[in-house]
Structure 1
Amino acid sequence: MKFFTKKRVVLFLLFIFPLICFLLLSLGENNFTKLPVVKENLIDVSEIDATKTVQLKENVTILCFLGNDINKTKTGLLNLNEKIYKKFIDYKKFQIVAIYPEGKEEEVKNLKEEIGAFTDMQKWNFIASSKDKIEGFYITFGLNEPLVNLYSSKAFLIDKDVNLRGRLTDKDTKDGKLYGYNMNSVAVLNGKLIDDVKVLYYEYYAAFKEKNNNKADRKEVGL
């Protein structure tokens, strides 16, 4: 086994191993799997927002439904704030949108104060709407799980084109389809939603990079 001399092992670790890692990363960058679109062309939340100040279009959005019992939602919202919002607050066009029924303004105000005690709330958006509009908006998601008292334990990931993103081969669901992320599970937020938001942003980065490369190529040939 003279081949595996100390000198050769050192050379391998210093030069060859990093090169192999670089090649693997390059292949991964060019052939990464995009995050599946599980429902296209949702209605923009601006359609149910009387103030017309919030929209999904051109934003990466985590959206949730608070329901009639705001206290029931508190744990999930605090999880979202700690595990997702604080991690992505500096990402461009990132926002969290929380929809709640009209008449719950005081409870939501208290909730916002609690979340905002140690958080910059600039990318949190709370929208009040009527029961009929909230239910009609949720129906466009095409899910088999109905809202219960206008509440869902799931947070939904929506892309810049107002498509619902998720997973089609999720190991923890019966049919492999993941349409929303359980806000009450720190493991789900840490292990799935964080990764999926990163994949979505990498999609946009890769598309931007390719677009700029194509522009440079056209400029070189005088187009």
Structure 2
Amino acid sequence: MKKFLVLGILFALPITAYLFFASGKNNFARLPVLTEKVKDIDQFKTNTDSVISFRDKISVVAFFGSELDDIKGNTFNLDQKILEKYYDFNDFQFVLVLPEEAETRTQQFVTEFNKISESSKWKIAYASPQKVQEVFDSFQSPHKLDENSFTPYVFIIDKDLQLRGRDDDEDDGKLYGYDSSNVAELSNKMNDDVKVILAEYRLALKRNNREK
């Protein structure tokens, strides 16, 4: 009996360890809050008649600047590795925050991408470069916008206007944003973290429903 017990433990332990590490370390905890009370964009002009807000949504936010032709690769990477998996979640949105001079070219840009993606679901907010900078600065990340209001880094903002990320990333220590030019970072780190925050809110919703 003891022999079978020992064999069972030796067989089960490696499998349990593998499942634990393969599932990603963040899957067993909430995605850390790195910045509280980021600035909302509910006063910005939009590509539709409706108001765009970070509040009550899980938002992937990109600051892709005024030179839209130069960031097709970044947008394609982001769409294929992250966005297309989550477009059907009601609480999820992808928001492009752009300087107002990009507005005239945006529709063509979105139309082109609609041939290979669901770009019609993108939400786009426009404001002066100064206003865009103010929102970006409120994220309190170490990253910078260039002279065209562009950064390759994209960010996760939760329903309470908090920036989420990693506070113990193996490469960066604190990971505020995800490099949209880096396919591996999107596929591994960002995809894992979006799953974590969506699961976090689903669990909270189930808990609330049970309590009611």
CA distance in 2, matches of 1:46, 1:147: 21
Q: Which runs of 5+ in 1 are unaligned?
A: 26-30, 216-223
Distance 1:62 1:197 in 2: 9
Q: Which amino acid aligns with 1:148?
A: D
Alignment of 1:87-126 (within 5 A): 87-126=85-124
Give distance in 2, aligned partners of 1:109 and 1:37: 34
Task: Name 1:40's counterpart in structure 2.
Answer: 36
Structure having the higher Rg? 1
> Which of 154, 178, 182 is matched with 1:185 structurally?
182
Q: Deviations over 1:36-81 (max 9, x none)?
A: 0100111111133366621111111110111132222221111111
TM-superposed deviation, 1:122: 4.2
In the TM superposition, what whole-angstrom CA distance separates every residue of 1:121-166 from its partner, at most 9, and x where no partner exists?
3431122211111111111111232211211110000111111000
Identity between Structure 1 and Structure 2 (%): 34
- 1:125-164 map, 5 Å: 125-149=123-147, 150-164=149-163
Q: Residues of 1 paired with 2:56 and 2:120: CA distance?
A: 17
Give secondary structure in 2 for the equivalent of 1:104: helix
Residue type matched to 2:56 in 1? E
CA gap of 1:2–1:140, structure 2 versus 1, over 3 A, is closer
Q: What SS class does the counterpart of residue 42 from structure 2 fall into?
A: helix
Unaligned runs of 5+ in 2: 21-26
Report the equivalent of 2:71.
73
CA RMSD of aligned residues (A): 2.9
Paired AA for residue 160 in structure 1: K
Give the corresponding residue for 1:196: 193
Aligned to 1:61: 59
Closer, same or farther in 2 for the Cα pair 1:54/1:110, shift >3 Å? same
* Preserved contact between residue 139 and residue 163 of structure 2 (Cα < 8 Å): yes
* Partner residue in 2 for 1:49: 45
Tell me the CA shift for residue 119 of structure 1.
Answer: 2.3
SS at match of 1:204: helix
Distance 1:212 1:184, change over 3 A: same
151-160 or 90-99: bigger deviation: 90-99
CA distance in 2, matches of 1:132, 1:187: 32
Contact 1:48 1:137 in 2 (8 A): no
Q: Is the Cα–Cα contact under 8 Å of residues 94 and 123 in structure 1 kept in the other structure? A: no
The answer to whether the 8 Å contact 1:170/1:177 transfers is yes
Q: Does residue 90 of structure 2 align to residue 84 of structure 1?
A: no
Return the offset for 1:95. 1.0
User: SS where residue 168 of structure 1 aligns?
Assistant: strand
Bigger mean CA deviation after superposition, 47-56 or 138-147: 47-56
Q: Greater share of strand residues, 1 or 2?
A: 2
AA aligned to 1:154 is Y
